[in-house]
Structure 1
């Protein structure tokens, strides 16, 4: 684990040793996708698809219950890893992207076109961070902040996708 001095706060750069040091780190880092050198959030988002596939046979309300519980777990999990890193919302923490993507997929037809559209819209909102996502990203810290801005990006993507489904 390499560390950098940042004022008085110790910042740990995520690596394989940290990834495998605790199950919560392994999950926070999206089974290792968060360690990708380029676009770890995008890599983590891809894992939302197998998570959704694991949930898709459940009744709709149970899918939402599972995603809600995974969100709450993510608050705790992300806070744990954030404390280990010394940064509350490090880019390597991608559990938030995974859960958000699964939530979006619950709302669209099960086809490649809708899945790709959901993926692109979510990544756009997550990267662009229009208001109120940007406000939440700046003001809400810790595990809740990690999870909340992606949940808000998911809600915006869902709204656009629902409008598009209605229009079709």
Structure 2
């Protein structure tokens, strides 16, 4: 499929998290912050709708990130932050909305996204294109979600 200039602008708008990925410092963190309003919407959904929406967002993110990578002509450019948005949504899925929960989820997601413990780091090399861009952030989101829920269940937060 041939993309037009207009299509390219829309793809880059989505891939860069409404241009938050162009932040001159810590674009991944800026993208994670940009994810918070989206996370709030997802957190307010009934469980079945949240599950379907998270799956749809992940698939959408893979496609958009793949297209953006082709448009920009480089492998996993730092300005693409839709993967961070998807990872944040995974982190906060099923958690009650609230300032403390969102901030704890944000910190945990950034920790695991930056650290990339095994096997998260391997996901970048196993998958190519958009799937490779998104997979490690989904993995970080899963780790962060598990840790967040352990902290919540044990009354630590």
CA drift of 1:132 comes to 0.4
Structure 2: give runs of 5+ residues left out of the alignment.
Answer: none
The Cα offsets for residues 91-140 of structure 1, whole Å up to 9 and x where unpaired, read as 11000111211222223222211111100010010011110011112332
Q: 2:97 corresponds to which residue?
A: 110
Greater relative CO, 1 or 2 (CA 8 Å, sep 6+): 2
Between 1:126-135 and 1:47-56, the stretch displaced more is 47-56
User: How many pairs align?
Assistant: 151
Q: C-alpha separation between the residues in 2 aligned to 1:159 and 1:52?
A: 17
Matched, 1:25 2:12: yes
Give the conservation status (yes or no) of the 8 Å contact 1:19–1:25: no
Q: C-alpha separation between the residues in 2 aligned to 1:101 and 1:49?
A: 8
Q: 2:66 corresponds to which residue?
A: 79
Structure 1: give runs of 5+ residues left out of the alignment.
Answer: 1-17
Between 1:20-29 and 1:149-158, the stretch displaced more is 20-29
TM-score (norm 2): 0.89
The Cα offsets for residues 21-48 of structure 1, whole Å up to 9 and x where unpaired, read as 5211110011010001110000001122
Matched, 1:53 2:40: yes
Residues 75 and 65 of structure 1, relative CA distance in 2, 3 Å threshold: same
CA drift of 1:20 comes to 9.1
Q: Give the structure with higher Rg (CA).
A: 1
Q: C-alpha separation between the residues in 2 aligned to 1:88 and 1:21?
A: 17
Q: 2:137 corresponds to which residue?
A: 150
Q: 1:124 corresponds to which residue?
A: 111
Q: C-alpha separation between the residues in 1 aligned to 2:6 and 2:19?
A: 7
